[in-house]
Structure 1
């Protein structure tokens, strides 16, 4: 089966209603196909201009707060952080120059997680809290309709939600069976609940349940983190002090690759690949924080996070060791992996 496609393009014609500013001329000349990408880039250009102007004129501390708590990643290089971080910033910075942008970034983060209703609520809050802000008030002609960027983005979110609801298999795996087993990964930062696809990957699921029941994972550490990938765990050698061995254990048993019809979407539990082509290491696993369809057909998805995804993101975004290994600076211990009744 071919990997799912995630693109739905809309042709956008952009022209300001009043005399064109430098920004308007830029956007009119370099218009972008695709409503979502256009709005992100248009908002980004305004964001950077506003941020730099404010820094130079008033050295507003609110921008420094945004810089400290967000990362620049991907294209366009928009400040990113988990939705809960952006929501906290938006509340803390209400009434400052960075306040409306924090709301906009919150909506952007929620949209990235396909939380459409929450993203719309963030835009509604932006509209209510800052009715005179350019994102809310400045009007553009978009596809023959005169509206602000916030209004256009709100409409775009509604359209995307409707389209995805008509094509669910392109954006997420099927829900696990109603009687699917669940496990709880307990860490010092909080618990992560995972529901397992026993009907689709029975050998991998049973192996994981057997290891959990035996206490195999207790005391092991999450040995590799990556904000653009996720977290890796399940290596028994992480109980040892020899860091060079971390990520090399767990190969005493291997499982054969199985085509399950499940894809590597954000939030899945997937088996680590073995040394031979299309085999899984018996104990090691990854939990993804981003879609990684380059792994489809290479690794076996056998579960999905159904609780505690905020803990997974916190783990993945933690500071890494300076040696380039991807090992967390302060490794987190799995105190237990237990079956949920």
Structure 2
């Protein structure tokens, strides 16, 4: 067991590593909405959340194979418990958003934590800005695509959107937790700011449960994930099963 100081330091490093840089007016509005709510929310549905109307959804399971350093990483995506988050990821994989991008943050000490990638800016070898600040820009609308924070409490019928479990006053654990091999979305301090950046959990980091959206797990190739270093490239990412479950 880690000493209290070390545990606090570990938490600080991980949470800081998952935050994205910058914010938009949409994100500020999201933060304001979360901070002013004082009642336990009902899960938001697509019908009463306009932000979700045009987002892809995964209705069921899908499998993605990501190749890094010539070796495959197999990810099973759970659209049953995280339909919007998993659907967004599958859609971005099909668009080729991750092909050629690099892992810009790797946290392995003082113990294994996370590997984070998915910033489209990292595909440009001439980019000189700060990686970890970019997201997917929809080529049709020319606007950033952000998805709401989506976490389903264990035993619930539907996920809770746009709120952490703490702000929603939810005490039960999520259906999808941060065990080793979890795949989840990185975001800024504002709940509805996730876009394309994601991370692999290198160990059980359950103190993030209820704050970040897990949407799948590595089923094969965790040894490949363990060896990822900063700057390593995603050579390819392909949907190998369940593509028919993506609804746009």
TM-score interval (norm. to shorter):
0.5 to 0.7
1:257 aligns to what?
A: 149
Residue number among 288, 295, 313 corresponding to 2:226 in the alignment: 313
Which whole-Å CA distance do the structure 1 matches of 2:74 and 2:188 have between them?
25
Which whole-Å CA distance do the structure 2 matches of 1:243 and 1:307 have between them?
34
Matched, 1:193 2:107: no
> Which structure has the larger Rg?
1
Matched, 1:336 2:228: no
Partner-residue secondary structure (3-state), 2:150: coil
Cα contact 1:229–1:288 (8 A) shared by 2: yes
Partner-residue secondary structure (3-state), 2:64: strand
Partner-residue secondary structure (3-state), 2:194: strand
* CA 1:297–1:243: 2 relative to 1, 3 Å: farther
Pick which of 297-306 and 227-236 moved more.
227-236
Which whole-Å CA distance do the structure 2 matches of 1:225 and 1:332 have between them?
10
Which string of whole-angstrom CA distances, capped at 9 and with x for unpartnered residues, describes residues 61-102 of structure 1? xxxxxxxxxxxxx67xxxxxxxxxxxxxxxxxxxxxxxxxxx
Structure-to-structure mapping, 1:182-331, within 5 angstroms: 182-227=63-108, 228-240=112-124, 241-250=126-135, 252-260=144-152, 261-276=175-190, 278-315=191-228, 318=229, 328=230, 331=231
Structure-to-structure mapping, 1:104-253, within 5 angstroms: 180-227=61-108, 228-240=112-124, 241-250=126-135, 252-253=144-145
* Residue 183 (structure 1) shift: 0.2
Cα contact 1:194–1:304 (8 A) shared by 2: yes
* CA 1:280–1:271: 2 relative to 1, 3 Å: farther
Which whole-Å CA distance do the structure 2 matches of 1:275 and 1:286 have between them?
16
Which whole-Å CA distance do the structure 1 matches of 2:194 and 2:63 have between them?
21
Partner-residue secondary structure (3-state), 2:92: helix
* Residue 243 (structure 1) shift: 4.8
Partner-residue secondary structure (3-state), 1:193: strand
* Residue 210 (structure 1) shift: 0.8
* Residue 259 (structure 1) shift: 2.2
* CA 1:280–1:182: 2 relative to 1, 3 Å: farther
* CA 1:302–1:280: 2 relative to 1, 3 Å: farther
* CA 1:246–1:255: 2 relative to 1, 3 Å: same
2:45 aligns to what?
A: none
Which whole-Å CA distance do the structure 1 matches of 2:122 and 2:183 have between them?
19
Cα contact 1:230–1:313 (8 A) shared by 2: no
* Residue 238 (structure 1) shift: 0.7
Partner-residue secondary structure (3-state), 1:206: helix
Gap runs ≥5 in structure 2: 4-59, 137-143, 153-174, 242-248
Name the one with the larger helix percent: 1
* Residue 280 (structure 1) shift: 4.4
